[in-house]
Amino acid sequence: MKFLAPLLGVVIYLALQAAVAGRIAIGSIAPDFVVVCVVLFGLQRGSVQGSLFGFFVGFLVDLSNPGYLGLNALTKCLLGFAAGGLGAAASPGLLVLAIVFFVGALAHDFVYLLIYLWPGVGSALLTRALPSALYTAVAGVAVERILALLGAKVVTSFGKERQY
Amino acid sequence: MHLFEAVFQRYRDRTVLVVLISLSIALMSLPEPVQVDVARGLVGRLVLPAQRATTFVTDYTDVRAENERLQRMVATLMLERERLLQYRDERERLRRLAEFKEEQTHRLVPAEVVGRDFDRIQTNLVINKGSEEGLRARMPVFSYGGLVGSLAKVFTNSSWVQLLTSKNHPVSCIDKRSRVVGVLEWRHRSSFELRHVSSNEDVVVGDTLVTSGFGGTIPKGFPVAIVSRVGQSTDGLSLRVDARSPVNFVSLEEVFVMTDEIPWDRSLFYEEADTALMRDVLRRSQR
């Protein structure tokens, strides 16, 4: 069960990304549910599991874009590590959680676009990364709220590694 | 040994991170053909069946509305077909009179998009047609809006489409109005840049860029993008030509693979269209 729940979560979030993200996109700006998934997992499980999980999920995403195999694995493992290492911050309200999602998505896209579009990364940060990070933050909070309403164990406090 | 274990325990998180970063960089450093083969092999066996299931569930909800829309479309096409048949006969008579060379058209194989990148910068699609339908690598792929990309890898019942929104998929294009030739390369989203255009060439905003046919892979004359901005480049020797594709690469649901050339008056649509079925559809749509 310890490994089954994260695997099931990965499948659900990848399905959300593949089937829903495109449909709720505003223009070409879509939320990144995979980033939401990695951040939530990192917050729950800490740096070690967060980075391992991020690498695994990122590698799965890379399989669909094989010209850059390893890029998503790298960025999402960093994201999982950072989310897991937030430390003993104050207990999060929705605003703090939204900021975590926003900063996480922005930093993730910054590293991603820096490598992917090098050296022409300038405008993409403004036109793609920034609005996308905002959208991801909103989607992330919505997902967290829905999970909470369903009774799932979601982020209730930073700093302590939670177990299912 | 104890010291090593103690250090590892103390810096376990950072050690794991360094190992994972090294692994990621090693993956990125692999030669591109190796990356592609590894990824596609794994995807073909693991991810594609799951993607098909997901696509089936989401598509099922849209089938009813799509059916009504298609019935209306078929009814319209039925009427248009009758008109075109008359034009064809008339045109054939005129061409024979003028002894024109027989014109060619292309066979388009329709295909559904059954998988796409999870990544937001989409560079690949998976379609549900493969070598059994006669598809081969490098065949061009179109949507209603124009050129979409080309087949990168063909399996028995599925194929990978490499989209134009890929950094390594430049297309030789020609300005439909002024016949200026350049190479169209993706920049970001639906934006492209036409490169290698001299500063004295005639390119203006609104011009349509069509495939040039150079190289022999993609036939000549198919729309790709529309010029959105023209300016001087920093070196002053060439024009900076920005263009936008009318295709929404994010929400493609069906595409057409261009397979081979056939004489246009022997097109399967005209010769083998099931008239009875079309009339039935027409009758139902008029209820």
CATH assignment at residue B114? 2.40.10.340
**Do B61 and B80 fall into the same domain?**
yes
- What is the pLDDT of chain A when averaged over all its residues? 78
Give yes or no for residue B159 having a pLDDT over 70: yes
What pLDDT shows up at residue A93?
73
What pLDDT shows up at residue B182?
92
Please write the tens of the pLDDT for every residue from A7-60: 777 777 777 777 677 777 787 788 888 888 888 888 888 888 888 989 988 888
Which residues 61-90 on chain A approach chain B with CB closer than 8 angstroms? Answer: 61-74, 77-78, 81, 84-85
Give yes or no for residue A162 having a pLDDT over 50: no
Hey, which of A152-161, B65-74, B205-214 has the most confident mean pLDDT? B205-214
Respond yes or no on whether the N-terminal peptide bond of residue B31 is cis (omega within 30° of 0): no
B271 pLDDT band, cuts 50/70/90, is very low
Is B55 part of the contact surface with chain A (CB cutoff 8 Å)?
A: yes
**Do B272 and B131 fall into the same domain?**
yes
Cβ atoms within 10 Å of B78's Cβ, excluding its own = 17
A128 pLDDT band, cuts 50/70/90, is confident
Asked if B94 contacts B136 with a C-beta cutoff of 8 angstroms, the reply is: no
Residues whose CB falls within 8 Å of the CB of residue B151, separated by 6 or more in sequence, listed in order:
B135, B136, B137, B138, B139, B141, B159, B160, B161, B162, B257
Distance CA B81, CA B75 (A): 10
What pLDDT shows up at residue B47?
63
3-state class of B221 per DSSP? coil
Q: What end-to-end distance do the CA atoms of chain B give, in Å? A: 84
Q: Which one is predicted more confidently, A63 or B159?
A: B159
- Provide, rounded to the nearest whole percent, the portion of chain B with pLDDT above 90: 11
Listed in order, strand segments (DSSP E) in chain B are 104-116, 124-127, 140-143, 146-154, 159-163, 171-175, 181-188, 191-195, 208-211, 223-232, 239-244, 254-263
**Torsional class of A27: left (φ above 0), alpha (ψ -120 to 50), beta (otherwise):** left
State the Cα torsion B126-B128-B132-B138 to the nearest 10°: -30
Is B13 part of the contact surface with chain A (CB cutoff 8 Å)?
A: yes
Asked if B153 contacts B191 with a C-beta cutoff of 8 angstroms, the reply is: no
The reply to whether B131 falls in a domain is yes
The reply to whether B262 falls in a domain is yes
Residues whose CB falls within 8 Å of the CB of residue B91, separated by 6 or more in sequence, listed in order:
none
**Do B240 and B266 fall into the same domain?**
no
The reply to whether B47 falls in a domain is no
Give yes or no for residue B127 having a pLDDT over 70: yes
Mean pLDDT of B99-103: 52
Q: Of A14, A25, A48, which is closest to B16 when you measure between CB atoms?
A: A48
pTM for this model (two decimals): 0.52
Mean pLDDT of B251-262: 78
- CB–CB of B27 and A65 under 8 A? no
The reply to whether B36 falls in a domain is no
Q: How many domains does chain B have?
A: 3
What pLDDT shows up at residue B165?
86
Which residues 133-162 on chain A approach chain B with CB closer than 8 angstroms? Answer: none
**Do B242 and B256 fall into the same domain?**
no
Is B22 part of the contact surface with chain A (CB cutoff 8 Å)?
A: no
- CB–CB of B23 and A25 under 8 A? no
The neighbouring-strand residues paired with B194 are B184, B241
Please write the tens of the pLDDT for every residue from B18-57: 888 888 888 888 887 777 777 777 777 776 666 666 666 6
What pLDDT shows up at residue B272?
47
Is A4 part of the contact surface with chain B (CB cutoff 8 Å)?
A: no
Distance CA A150, CA A138 (A): 18
Can you say how many angstroms the Cα of residue B256 is from the centroid of all Cα atoms in its chain?
Answer: 8
- Chain B CB contacts of A69 under 8 Å are 27-28, 30, 35, 38-39
**Do B19 and B100 fall into the same domain?**
no
* Half-sphere exposure for B184 (CA within 13 Å, toward CB): 32
Nearest-Cα distance to chain A for B170, in Å, is 15
- What is the pLDDT of chain B when averaged over all its residues? 78
Mean pLDDT of A95-100: 85
Structural domain boundaries, residue B225:
171-246
What pLDDT shows up at residue A163?
40
**Do B159 and B259 fall into the same domain?**
yes
Which residues 113-152 on chain B approach chain A with CB closer than 8 angstroms? Answer: 115-121, 123-124
